Amino acid sequence: MNIIPKPHKIKTLSPARFAYSPEDAEKIYDPTVPAEGYRLVSSGEGLKIFASDDAGFFYGKISAEWLGADGDMPDVIVSDAPRFAYRGFMIDCARHFFSVEELLKRIDTASKFKLNVFHWHLTDDQGWRAEIERYPRLTEIGSYRTSTRGDGKPVKGFYTKADMRRVVEYAAERFINVLPEVDLPGHMSAAVASYPQLGCTGAEIAVKDSFGIHEDVLCAGNDFVYEFICNVIDELAEIFPFGYFHIGGDEALRLKWLDCEKCREKMRLNALADEDELQGYMMNHALAHLKKLGKRGIVWNDGMASNVDPEAVMQYWKDDGASLKKAVARMRGGTDTVMSPFFAYYLDNPYGMTPLKKCFRRNPVPKGADEKKVLGVECALWTEYVDNADKLDYQLFPRLAAVAERAWSAWHTDYRAFKRRLRAAYNIFDKCGVKYATMNKADPNPIAALVSLIRFALNVMDPSMKESLLRQKLNAKRLKEKYSPVNERDRI
């Protein structure tokens, strides 16, 4: 049966076919069916979907659409339920802006693969995209950059509250929750450009027109910043009913903090051992505020300082050996985790680096970790080098289907069977009106893979990226100096 993600169990009763339409399915409540699960029975007695909740009925109907793609339905019983409760996809709308209409189309397509979280990356160094009434300059100033790496073409756009509500509503109709992300304390240049008092020095800066890692982070010693974080969360929490809220935490350089008297004072007053703990202190402030609103915060794994509230959810992306070891230890200590490993589930990677096969083959449960601590799976699409919807689709599809299979289906390694079912997925992409990479492009031969890698490298490596690497090196050097035994007296 051609369904992605692969259902838990399919029993074919006979070669008979029936002229049923998914729209005609009879819905029958059955409390024994697990959450989000369904039992689809297509037989001589009609088309029936049994479920214990509305999501289950919805997914049963989606499966009926796949089964009935040729115009009739087989004689079959499908018993199905998801492996993970959190099945996400992320689109970065900060580096490049995508209209509400463009987003709705991708949300609709993702729903056909039974994904249930749209992670909306709304803020970054290169653009602030969410209207916040209390801080109008965030969108007046922060949603506009004059150029991208010197190309002279402005990039602008933001979502009004009505826009965001529309996305939430449309997604909810497809049983998709929308997870907003406000990335802090790093990746905040657009906010600092809008309100210079958010930074350590108060100096005016521009919204960034290059990528990589920038140093204009939120000042961790400034009361205005803590107030800002809570106010932004409050306004967004009103729009996004989802029980989770992403507060970023990744790639925050310490260069400004090291030279800031207010940051050093905050460390002294709170007996914080280092800048990691200072970041943890700030994340905890946001997490505690979210908790008051009945929400759980999500933090990227490189932002999970040792003092971060253990109830925060970790999103695993940084995918080197040391990070994995640390993440597994944290999971063993009880931290719930969303798995988005860079090398397998980052869909902005060229196909030469992360072919479809690699997405498919990555088990979301790391060795040594308890599957119960894996809340779910998410693929991420960062858009530094994705400036239009066609490119977005090319990167997303068909890899999103492989990640959806990992998020929903029981672990299996039958790639050939997956590829057979993928043919039906291409029909779904066409029906939804999205573009994609063909199977040959998605699993390129070695030469095509090399070409895609070289193209990507040429695109990424510009002088601004070299500057970013130098900043990271300097950051590491300054921290090493501060915490070397020789400088013991000079700490803080």
Q: Report if residue 219 touches Zn ion, rule: CB under 5 A.
A: yes
Q: Report if residue 199 touches Zn ion, rule: CB under 5 A.
A: no
Q: How many positions of this chain bind Zn ion (CB under 5 A)?
A: 6
Q: Report if residue 263 touches Zn ion, rule: CB under 5 A.
A: yes
Which span (108-116, 213-221, 314-322, 386-394) binds Zn ion, by CB under 5 A? 213-221
Measured from the CB of residue 482, what is the shortest distance to Zn ion in angstroms?
15
Measured from the CB of residue 474, what is the shortest distance to Zn ion in angstroms?
17
Q: Closer to Zn ion at the Cβ: 410 or 474?
A: 474
Tokens at 47, concatenated: 């088309």
Which span (198-206, 385-393, 401-409, 420-428) binds Zn ion, by CB under 5 A? 198-206
Measured from the CB of residue 475, what is the shortest distance to Zn ion in angstroms?
15
- Choosing from 187, 214, 246, 289, the catalytic residue is 187
**279: Cβ contacts below 8 Å, ≥ 6 apart:** 185, 220, 249, 252, 303, 305
Instruction: Out of 127, 221, 248, 341, point to the residue binding Zn ion (CB under 5 A).
Output: 221
Q: Closer to Zn ion at the Cβ: 203 or 322?
A: 203
302: which DSSP letter? G
Which span (48-56, 231-239, 257-265, 267-275) binds Zn ion, by CB under 5 A? 257-265
Q: How many CB atoms lie within 10 A of CB 492?
A: 12
Q: Report if residue 260 touches Zn ion, rule: CB under 5 A.
A: yes
Which span (10-18, 106-114, 135-143, 263-271) binds Zn ion, by CB under 5 A? 263-271
Cα–Cα distance, 406 to 41 (Å, whole number): 25
Q: Closer to Zn ion at the Cβ: 10 or 230?
A: 230
Q: Which amino acid is at 382?
A: W
- Choosing from 124, 131, 302, 384, the catalytic residue is 124
- Choosing from 163, 251, 393, 405, the catalytic residue is 251
Q: Is 169 labeled as catalytic in the residue annotation? A: no
Q: Report if residue 389 touches Zn ion, rule: CB under 5 A.
A: no
Which span (136-144, 155-163, 253-261, 353-361) binds Zn ion, by CB under 5 A? 253-261
CA dihedral 447, 449, 452, 454 (to 10 degrees): -70
Measured from the CB of residue 242, what is the shortest distance to Zn ion in angstroms?
31
Q: Closer to Zn ion at the Cβ: 34 or 196?
A: 196
> With 0-12 CB in 10 A as exposed, 13-18 as middle and 19+ as buried, what is 368?
exposed
Q: Report if residue 196 touches Zn ion, rule: CB under 5 A.
A: no
Q: Closer to Zn ion at the Cβ: 262 or 296?
A: 262
Q: For residues 43 and 75, is the Cβ–Cβ distance under 8 A?
A: yes
Q: Report if residue 425 touches Zn ion, rule: CB under 5 A.
A: no
Cα–Cα distance, 66 to 78 (Å, whole number): 12
Query: Could you tell me which residues are beta bridge partners of residue 119?
Result: 90, 179
CA dihedral 392, 393, 399, 404 (to 10 degrees): 100
**249: Cβ contacts below 8 Å, ≥ 6 apart:** 183, 184, 185, 186, 279, 283, 299, 300, 302, 303, 304
Q: How far is CA 220 from CA 198, 215, 286, 314, in A?
A: 9, 13, 12, 21
Cα–Cα distance, 378 to 369 (Å, whole number): 17
Q: Report if residue 184 touches Zn ion, rule: CB under 5 A.
A: no
Q: Closer to Zn ion at the Cβ: 29 or 224?
A: 224
**162: Cβ contacts below 8 Å, ≥ 6 apart:** none
Q: For residues 132 and 143, is the Cβ–Cβ distance under 8 A?
A: no
Measured from the CB of residue 277, what is the shortest distance to Zn ion in angstroms?
15
Cα–Cα distance, 113 to 340 (Å, whole number): 17
Q: Closer to Zn ion at the Cβ: 95 or 264?
A: 264
Q: Report if residue 200 touches Zn ion, rule: CB under 5 A.
A: yes
Instruction: Out of 27, 137, 161, 262, point to the residue binding Zn ion (CB under 5 A).
Output: 262
Q: Which amino acid is at 373?
A: K
Q: Is 251 labeled as catalytic in the residue annotation? A: yes
Q: Which one, of 103, 100, 109, lies nearest residue 91 by Cα?
A: 103
Which span (59-67, 197-205, 297-305, 306-314) binds Zn ion, by CB under 5 A? 197-205
Q: Closer to Zn ion at the Cβ: 220 or 356?
A: 220
Interface residue list for Zn ion (CB under 5 A): 200, 219, 221, 260, 262-263
Instruction: Please identify every residue annotated as catalytic.
Output: 124, 187, 251
